[in-house]
Structure 1
Amino acid sequence: MENHNHQELIQKLLNCVAACENCALACLHERDIQMMAQCISLDRDCADICAQAARLLQRDSVIAHQYLLLCEEICRLCADECSKHDQDHCQQCAEACRICADACHEHHEPITQR
């Protein structure tokens, strides 16, 4: 079964999901929540997209490697936003997103129509 080759990538995706969910929840408790709105929004999108990527890899979907292109993009957007904030949860999320983006970059394939 091929998905054994993807266990490390799947783990990085799931680590990113956890970091994003944690960051979004912590941002909701910050004093100036309006300043954190973009961070929360990207955290939620990133968590959802990374979770779906992990599922697609797990089931060895024919589009899993193409989907990783989108996953890399949202991880980089989220990392960029989180890195603008000094909170520990944001910095940890930015790091998890960068690791995940790099892993997705190593494994993605171009989107092609057949």
Structure 2
Amino acid sequence: MSMTYEECVKACLECLKECNICLDACLKEDDVKMMVDCIRLDRICADICSLAAQAMLSNSPSLAEICELCANICEKCGAECQKHSHHDHCKKCAEACFKCAEACRQMAS
């Protein structure tokens, strides 16, 4: 496994972790309704990060497409989390999402 693979897998797993932490924390916010889009995107982002990591580890023939999709979803999730950056969990999640998006873009090309 090349270094790029390892870095990208690491970015995906970190993003998956931050999305799950963010999702859980959003559910505990006083105004959960305001966090609905964030919660939805956290969930799908965690799922695609998991899939992308698995695709890299198994050398999937669909790797480029999965990484491209992962990058797009990470960017959407990061942008949504940025709107709530007064919450520490959203701020950390946005950073992890953008880092993962960049890594997956490189992997897809």
Per the normalisation by structure 2, the TM-score is 0.95
| Amino acid aligned to 2:62 | I
Q: Secondary structure at the match of 2:30?
A: coil
Residue in structure 1 matched with residue 44 of structure 2 by the alignment: 45
Residue in structure 1 matched with residue 34 of structure 2 by the alignment: 35
| Distance across 2 between alignment mates of 1:66 and 1:25 | 29
Q: CA RMSD in A?
A: 0.9
Residue in structure 2 matched with residue 95 of structure 1 by the alignment: 95
In the comparison of the two structures, how many residue pairs are matched? 107
Per the normalisation by structure 1, the TM-score is 0.91
| Distance across 1 between alignment mates of 2:24 and 2:7 | 26
Gaps in structure 1 of 5+ consecutive residues = 110-114
Q: CA deviation at 1:4?
A: 4.0
Which aligned runs of 4 or more in structure 1 are off by greater than 2 angstroms?
Answer: none
Gaps in structure 2 of 5+ consecutive residues = none
Q: Output one character per residue of 1:41-65: Cα deviation in whole Å (capped at 9) or x when no partner.
A: 0000000000000001100011112
Q: CA deviation at 1:8?
A: 1.1
